[in-house]
């Protein structure tokens, strides 16, 4: 039976870097956010999402959803977020199950989920990995990567589960400050995960 290893980390922690490194070692990696983006391009999904926001123009001229606007609309609106999640999450779950079936010969796979602990997703994993980094490092990374403000990043961080809580829930923690050390940690972890 293929083991499911959940990989998560707050914004700017470097979880994608870690996910890519696992993939470079030949380990199948499922990126839940990428799957959700693809699902949001489905015509039926576009219609369902449009119905949640009748007063907003959430569909762009190209016919696809304006994900940036939708993120802003649900950011402080729990009920709209729940409605959106009810459309997207079951489809991502089904997509993951199909993907897992295709990778069932692997000893273990990595499932990268930004809000793994926030959605209690760890209950569906055999083990979890939390990627973490000091808050200033995370802010610096996101400022370099995205056209955004420090205030906006802090708002996102404050909306996510506190780091201390995530550390308590994680099976393994990778502190991602020095890339060489991070890669060595992942190499060691791969050997551990082969045995679980």
Positions at the binding site for ATP: 12-17
CB count within 10 Å of CB 130 equals: 24
SS3 label, residue 64: coil
| Look-up of token digits 């459309």 | 87
Given CA atoms 31, 33, 34, 38 in this order, what sign does their dihedral have? positive
Q: How far apart are CA 51 and CA 40, in angstroms?
A: 14
Instruction: Find out whether 2 and 104 touch, Cβ atoms under 8 Å.
Output: yes
**Alpha helices, H only, 76-149:** 78-102, 135-145
Q: What single DSSP character describes residue 132?
A: E
- In whole angstroms, give the CA distance from residue 132 to residue 157: 12
Binding annotation: 12-17
């Amino acid at each position: 039976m293929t083991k499911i290893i959940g990989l998560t980390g707050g914004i700017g922690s470097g979880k994608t870097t870690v996910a890519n490194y696992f993939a470079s070692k030949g380990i199948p990696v499922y990126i839940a956010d990428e799957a959700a983006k693809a699902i949001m391009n489905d015509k039926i999904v576009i219609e369902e999402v449009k119905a949640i926001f009748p007063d907003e123009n959430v569909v762009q001229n190209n016919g696809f959803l304006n994900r940036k606007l939708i993120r802003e609309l649900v950011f402080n609106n729990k009920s709209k977020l729940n409605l959106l999640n009810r459309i997207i999450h079951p489809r991502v779950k089904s997509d993951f199950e199909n993907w897992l079936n295709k990778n069932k010969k692997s000893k273990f796979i990595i499932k990268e989920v930004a809000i793994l602990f926030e959605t209690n997703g760890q209950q569906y994993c055999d083990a979890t990995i939390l990627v973490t980094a000091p808050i200033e490092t995370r802010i610096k990374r996101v400022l370099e990567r995205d056209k955004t403000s420090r205030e906006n990043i802090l708002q996102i961080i404050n909306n996510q589960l506190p780091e201390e809580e995530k550390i308590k829930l994680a099976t393994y923690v990778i502190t991602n400050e020095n890339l060489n050390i991070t890669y060595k940690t992942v190499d060691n972890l791969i050997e551990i995960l082969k045995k679980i």
